[in-house]
């Protein structure tokens, strides 16, 4: 393995926690988005129901 490959592997190893944090945040945002969508859907249903 040459020095460039070693340097690349070290940088990937350092980035691993960052990637894990990114994927965790992305999953949290997807869950939040689905909850927001559900709330909007419910509020529209209530608005039309009360009208």
Q: What is the pLDDT of residue 50?
A: 63
**1-51 pLDDT, tens per residue?**
799 988 988 888 887 788 888 999 999 999 999 999 999 999 888 877 765
Q: What is the pLDDT of residue 33?
A: 97
Q: What is the pLDDT of residue 10?
A: 87
Q: What is the pLDDT of residue 19?
A: 84
Q: What is the pLDDT of residue 51?
A: 56
pTM score, two decimals? 0.56
One DSSP character per residue, 14-37 reads HHHHHHHHHHHHHHHHHHHHHHHH
Q: What domain range is 13 assigned to? A: 1-51
**What is the tally of structural domains in the chain?**
1
For 47, the token pair is 């608005």
């Amino acid at each position: 393995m040459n020095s460039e490959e070693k340097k690349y592997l070290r940088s990937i190893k350092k980035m691993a926690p960052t990637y894990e944090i990114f994927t965790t945040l992305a999953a949290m945002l997807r869950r939040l988005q689905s909850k927001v969508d559900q709330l909007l859907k419910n509020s529209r249903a209530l608005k039309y129901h009360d009208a």
